[in-house]
DNA sequence: CTGTATCCCTGTAGATACTG
DNA sequence: CAGTATCTACAGGGATACAG
């Protein structure tokens, strides 16, 4: 037997608790700050690049493009280019991408609802 | 009227879509790769440092310590030190931390269930 | 056992300038 | 309008060594 490959041997059940499991990368991507906001901004609708940029306040052009490309690559959004001048590009969540809306909205809601509690916890921690 | 402060003016409703809103930082933290796995590993139980380290395969001592500290600071976990020799330190989710279990488990499950679909999407993207 | 402290390298993200 | 291309700065995170 030759040298064992790094990480998880292939063919086993995916398990993000195991190093090298590809689900870890996916977890990284869907938990990403910009991905969470883009999924929430798109919702069940369609937005063009510039609209997304306005809704996700503070995102740079680079990060918006980059995140959308990765989401497209992973099958989370569809990208539709209208060959007009000036160009118009629209983004929509795929069916797979839509299944993320609930879970990610839950995170968003959590951060809003627990903001006071977290801030209070930090004060206590700082005092102690 | 003087120069406007950066980001969100205080006193408004928290909105992670607005730059500078503190909920963005919280969203970053709870979506963090290690936080997701630590919350899942703790579940409704208690684990000591070394046990956590084994369950979250591949996490470095530094990142485990650092992530646990931030979670403690934000009121997500309690840290209990038993003054024995050798020392024993146990971690448990707080009530607030427990409310994250559902949402984060949903992300974990999503990554497992959609792994084949994501990989397939990447192949299609590479071919095109 | 459970940390802390340090070095250092890589990736990430912002700013800026330019193009179809 | 919707990108691409570069440059740069900073933080994340691994490895290692040491301590209570």
The pTM (predicted TM-score) of the whole model is 0.92
Q: What integer pLDDT is reported at residue A10 of this predicted model?
A: 56
Q: What CATH number has the domain bearing residue B28? A: 1.10.10.10
* CA atoms within 13 Å, Cβ hemisphere of B122: 10
In a domain, residue B4? The reply is no
Chain C: nucleotides below 7 Å from protein CB are: 1-6, 13-17, 20
Per-residue pLDDT at A13: 87
Describe chain B by its helix, strand, coil percentages, rounded to 5: 55, 10, 35
For the segment B31-41, the average pLDDT, to the nearest whole number, is 97
| Contact partners, residue A71, CB within 8 Å, separation at least 6 | A35, A38, A77, A97
pLDDT score at B128: 79
Nearest CA to A35 out of A5, A69, A81 is that of A69
Report yes or no on B5 lying in a domain. Answer: no
Q: Which nucleotide is nearest to B79 (CA to C1')?
A: C2
Dump pLDDT digits (tens) for A73-93. 999 999 999 999 999 999 999
**What is the arithmetic mean of pLDDT over B8-29?**
86
Of all residues in chain A, the percent with pLDDT exceeding 90 is 86
Q: Is residue A109 part of a domain?
A: yes
Q: What is the pLDDT of residue A11?
A: 59
**Helices (H) then strands (E): counts for chain A:** 7, 3
Q: Is the peptide bond preceding residue B94 cis, with omega within 30 degrees of 0? A: no
- Which residues of chain A lie closer than 8 angstroms to B30, CB-CB? 107, 110-111
Mean pLDDT estimate for chain A: 92
- Whose tokens are 């869907």? That residue is A30
The residue range of the domain holding A100 is: 16-127
Given a contact cutoff of 8 angstroms between Cβ atoms, the answer to whether B14 and B23 are in contact is yes
Q: Is B46 part of any domain?
A: yes
Neighbours of A30 (CB within 10 A): 25
B76-84: average pLDDT: 96
- Per the domain annotation, does A123 fall within a domain? yes
Determine the protein residue whose CA lies at the shortest distance from the C1' of C14.
Answer: A60
Instruction: Identify the band that residue B8 occupies on the pLDDT scale cut at 50, 70 and 90.
Output: very low
B96 occurs within a structural domain: yes
Is there a contact between A90 and A48 (Cβ–Cβ < 8 Å)?
Answer: yes
For residue A25 the two structure tokens come to 């990368």
The tally of domains found in chain B comes to 1
Measure the CA–CA gap between B17 and B22, rounded to whole angstroms: 11
* Position B39 in a domain: yes
Report the alpha-carbon distance of residue B107 to residue A75 in Å, rounded: 16
Query: Cβ of B26 and A125 within 8 Å?
Result: no
Is the pLDDT score of B127 beyond 90?
Answer: no
**pLDDT reading at A24 higher than 90:** yes
């Amino acid at each position: 037997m030759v040298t064992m490959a790094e990480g998880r041997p292939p063919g086993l059940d995916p398990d993000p608790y195991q190093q090298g499991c590809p689900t870890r990368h996916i977890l990284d991507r869907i938990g990403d700050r910009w991905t969470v906001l883009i999924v929430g901004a798109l919702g069940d609708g369609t937005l063009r690049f510039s609209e997304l940029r306005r809704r996700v306040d503070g995102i740079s052009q680079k990060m918006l493009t980059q995140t959308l490309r990765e989401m497209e690559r992973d099958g989370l959004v569809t990208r539709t280019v209208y060959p007009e001048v000036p160009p118009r590009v629209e983004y929509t969540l795929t069916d797979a991408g839509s299944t993320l809306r609930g879970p990610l909205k839950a995170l968003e809601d959590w951060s809003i609802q627990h903001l006071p509690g977290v801030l209070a916890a930090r004060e206590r921690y700082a005092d102690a």
